[in-house]
Structure 1
Amino acid sequence: MPGGRGRFGCGHLLQAALDAFAEAGHEGMSVRALSRRLGISHALLTARFGSKEELWFAAMEHACTQAERAWRQATQAPVGDDLEALREGMIRQVLFAAAYPQVLRIMNHEGAIDSPRIRFVIDRIVNPLRPGVEGLLDRLVAAGRIRAVPYATLHYLITNGAGAQFAHPVEAALLGARTKPTPAQLQAHAETVADLLLAGIITSPGDAGQTPA
């Protein structure tokens, strides 16, 4: 999809659509209301993106490109330590969740109901990355450096567990979280999350032979 220029370039429109879908969900979101909010014609949005569902697909793909790139770099790096690569992927996932809290809010709408939208996320974004992530995990398990953990367990701990603070800012603020962390504070938070997750799966001498429940 070619990028636009100026205030109404594709990136601007997709970011606004992402905000709208996060607020109301796919069913509650109105393209006409979004057009009015942006001060542009409904025809412009439909001409660029087609149906509301196609706009949803485009907005999610726009947002998830950053996380997709981060995990590809972590799992396909030709050199480097596998455990450090896994840690770096976790850190970048947390930073992505902070930059795009809309994604987890949208997935909270979509994750419980079978639809073309949830299948798009799995088939277009998650599954293409899965072999690389699983290969990284398998190498670490084979080397005795981490315990074997079900893929879905680790997926939800990293995405939902690490991202909920940003997707639910009111609750997070009431719990004492910073509402506007600096980049340095975000980086420190992401590293803390990654280290806590890794501490739960890194093996110790007494873990030999353990298998996941």
Structure 2
Amino acid sequence: MVQTRGRGRPRAGEELDVGQLLQGALEAFAEKGYDGTSVRELSRRLGVSHALLTARFNSKEGLWFAAMDHALAAMSESWRRLADDPGLDDLEALRQAVVSQLIFSAAHPEVLRIMSHEGATDSPRIRYVVDHFITPLRPLVEQRIDRLVAAGRIRRVPYETLHYLVVIGGGARYASPVETQLLGGTAEHGEEDIRRHAETVADVIVRGLAG
């Protein structure tokens, strides 16, 4: 990842709320993709100067990395915590991880939209996400899966199949709100509705693996 510089000195009256700025950057990249978004456009959209963005993040790619770090760090830690918890049954740990992922997808639908832009073309950005957030967790998840398979509790499926069922299959409801509405759903999702959807998807996946 491109290392960011110090904050520097904002112009008079210009305050930098980093969390809000990174969330705004995620939404911009999700809307137009990396190539379709310029730093000048981002600065106008986020309400900060072009010079301040450059001083803080060095480049558009530096801002992209920082925005994805901001969104994915907590989700990665949640998966790691569930995978490492010795008190959880392996199948329940997998189920809870699916639920956690889908609650995250509802809170950050822009991440799946960004990954849809990035996943079709090889770039340092897609490799960064895979190398820093997906690959490090894979051995922890596979340990649980291997024990479940060895005990005859689930069938083995390719890891990428499970990944896409959870991340894209379950998360598309939030990343594609227009399609969701055309299918009879709603664009507004309360906490209870999000939890119900997450639990349903988790049950379908876990029961399918155990079938």
TM-score by length of 2: 0.91
CA contact (8 A) 1:3 1:11 kept: no
Match of 2:10 in 1: none
1:7 deviates by 6.1
1:71 to 74, 79, 83: 79
2:34 to 10, 26, 38: 26
Flag structure 1 segments of 5+ consecutive residues without an equivalent.
204-213
Q: Deviations over 1:157-184 (max 9, x none)?
A: 0001011111110110111112212101
What is the DSSP-based 3-state SS (H/G/I as helix, E as strand, rest coil) of the residue aligned with 2:202? helix
Count of paired positions: 202
TM-score by length of 1: 0.90
CA distance in structure 1 between the partners assigned to 2:112 and 2:41 by the alignment: 22
CA contact (8 A) 1:3 1:9 kept: no
1:186 to 159, 173, 194: 194
CA RMSD, 1 decimal: 1.7
Q: Deviations over 1:29-79 (max 9, x none)?
A: 111111112221111111111111111111111111122011111100021
Alignment of 1:153 onto 2:131:
no
Percent of aligned pairs sharing the same letter: 57
Match of 1:57 in 2: 65
1:107 to 115, 118, 140: 115
CA distance in structure 2 between the partners assigned to 1:3 and 1:63 by the alignment: 21
What one-letter code is carried by the residue in structure 1 that aligns with 2:160? A
Kindly tell me: are residues 84 and 7 of structure 1, through their superposed partners in 2, closer, same or farther at Cα, counting changes over 3 Å?
farther
CA distance in structure 2 between the partners assigned to 1:36 and 1:95 by the alignment: 31
Kindly tell me: are residues 135 and 7 of structure 1, through their superposed partners in 2, closer, same or farther at Cα, counting changes over 3 Å?
farther
Alignment of 1:166 onto 2:193:
no
Q: Deviations over 1:168-204 (max 9, x none)?
A: 101101111122121011101100000011111114x
CA distance in structure 2 between the partners assigned to 1:36 and 1:80 by the alignment: 47
